[in-house]
Structure 1
């Protein structure tokens, strides 16, 4: 298969960027999108040109580092991460536009690689519990209804790739924040910090420059883990309640 790539090139976060075109020739249809970029980079290096910089790690759909916007869609067509996207999803001769995630809170490091430290800062604000660590407790020592355990596990599936913010017209990270708050807050071990976690994580998200949710549902559409936007509604209810209690002095955040 042969393609024409329109790739965003940018030398650093403070420099201006531009699109450059590269041919991608003789690409196997079973190659992943990242493997296709590897092949293109090998040809660029043979020609004495600088390779395209992009982020990746596990290439197994787990880490979420392969944060590319492909033809305007974070992670490209279909449900999954960029490393799980295969070239058979495209037609021979297609022109493919590749950009980094366009989120103000994710400054571009170089070319297609962005700095997603902002998500780490949101986690640091409240993504933890104060339960004692050490030896594993007995499985039946804290009874948890299966429906609650299942909902918590659904939220915990979030890999923190940032595609939700990249897809949102407001660059909102509410799907990410709501999932991280829910998977801890639903379980009894995470209840003591529930109010503080909710308020601190939402306020940190705002301080870092992410926008607010306007119910476009673009986040849910591109999430590779299939996180439901219903978690955002849950977070909004929790935040309203916790902020009101803080305002009247009923709790300390």
Structure 2
């Protein structure tokens, strides 16, 4: 099928940016959005033009590097699916796709579809470290944790840090991301040793870089890892808990 692409081009952080129109022929429904960009870049290189810059790595939906916005929706039309797994089955011959970077004040554009997501890294860095008691290896049953709690912690730990939740939120909130990290670490016996100071520092950093939660739940509908909305509740819960507990 033939598709028309409106691609955001921006030469650098200080450039105002603009849309470019390109025609791509021979696209197949099973192709992903990233593969469509690959085809476009082959056309641009063959014609002696500058290819479109975009991030990608594993292309298996687990690294979180590939986020773009398609027709105003982070990652693309399919819910809870990363850009590298967004197929063109949602489009028909002659359709137009608008592809641009993840839009958020905390994610400045580096070039074209590439954004700087280091604000998310700052939240993780604010959480510092996980304290693990030194010594000989403990017995397997010395630290008990029930299966349901472990499963919940793993659900939160599935977050890949792609930043789609921030781009989907009208306020540019990162509460789903922050809540997933806090909830995961709070539920694990060893990492819970520094629960209060970690929560204080991570929430403080998130408040500095990102907006407040919009309470609409847009974040969970675009999250590739399917992080549940209850993760957002962990932000205020851990914030409040840290006020009354030193550790």
TM-score by length of 1: 0.93
Distance 1:29 1:194, change over 3 A: same
Quote the offset at 1:235 in angstroms: 2.1
> 1:165-211 CA distances to partner (integer Å, 9 max, x unpaired)?
00000000000000011111111112211111111101111222x10
Deviation at 1:5, TM superposition (A): 0.4
Aligned to 1:40: 40
> Residues 11-56 of structure 1, C-alpha deviation per residue, up to 9 Å, x if partnerless?
0011101111111111122211111110111001111111111010
Deviates more, 1:228-237 or 1:56-65: 228-237
Equivalent pair of 2:182/2:238 in contact (CA under 8 Å):
no
RMSD of aligned Cα (Å): 1.6
The 5 A counterparts of 1:67-146 are 67-78=67-78, 79-126=80-127, 128-132=129-133, 137-146=138-147
Q: Which moved more, 1:71-80 or 1:154-163?
A: 71-80
How far did residue 137 of structure 1 move? 4.8
Q: Would the alpha carbon gap of residues 181 and 26 (structure 1) be closer, same or farther in structure 2, given more than 3 Å must change?
A: same
C-alpha separation in 2, matches of 1:204 and 1:186: 21
How far, CA to CA, are the matches of 1:203 and 1:138 in structure 2? 37
Distance 1:134 1:162 in 2: 38
Q: Determine if contact 2:67/2:162 at 8 Å carries over to the other structure.
A: yes
Superposed structure 1 runs of 4+ greater than 4 Å apart:
133-138
Distance 1:31 1:137 in 2: 49
Which blocks of at least 5 consecutive residues in structure 2 are unaligned? none
Q: CA deviation digits over 1:35-78, x for unaligned, max 9?
A: 11101110011111111110101100011111100011100011
Q: TM-score if structure 2 supplies the norm length?
A: 0.95
2:127·2:201 contact (CA, 8 Å) conserved in 1?
A: yes
Deviation at 1:87, TM superposition (A): 1.4
1:18 aligns with 2:18: yes
The more displaced of 161-170 and 126-135 is 126-135
Aligned-residue offset at 1:127: 5.7
Conservation of the 8 A alpha-carbon contact between 1:5 and 1:24: yes
Counterpart of 1:161 in structure 2 is 162
* Residue 151 in structure 1 maps to residue 146 in structure 2: no
Show the counterpart of 1:228: 228
- Output the CA distance in 2 between the equivalents of 1:134 and 1:53: 48
- Partner of 1:188: helix, strand, or coil? coil
